[in-house]
Amino acid sequence: MKKLLIAAMMVAGLAACSQEAKQETQEAASAVASDVNAAAENAASAVDAAASEAKGAAEQAVSDVKDAAADAKATADKAVSDAKDAVSDAKDAAKDAAKDAMGKAADATQEAADKLKDAAK
């Protein structure tokens, strides 16, 4: 009977230890699950933040390209305007030069004609 009582007490002791081990294992598993969930939430936040930053950078790049295109168009428009002005100025200068040359030619012709008349007298 003593042996049976000792065996029963040993089984009860082992059962208590087993229950405590189960409890500790369950707590450890819960802690690990909590850590995994926290890590997943942190990863999701990091992905969201990275996506937001990438979107912001893309929007800024688009804005920069639009600004650069507008600047290039303004510069091209100014160059066209300057070229038109230069052509107009050159045209006016050519007209003035032609008039001046025609006037000089007329004067020279008149002078030559006058000299011919004088020589013919």
Distance CA 42, CA 54 (A): 18
Distance CA 56, CA 28 (A): 42
Residue 2 is predicted with a pLDDT of: 60
Quote the tokens at residue 29.
């598993």
Can you give the pTM of this predicted structure? Answer: 0.51
Q: What stretch of H or E contains 30? A: helix 2-120
Residue 6 is predicted with a pLDDT of: 61
Query: Residue ranges of the chain with pLDDT lower than 50?
Result: none
Of the CA atoms within 13 Å of residue 94, those in its CB half-sphere come to 6
Distance CA 60, CA 51 (A): 14
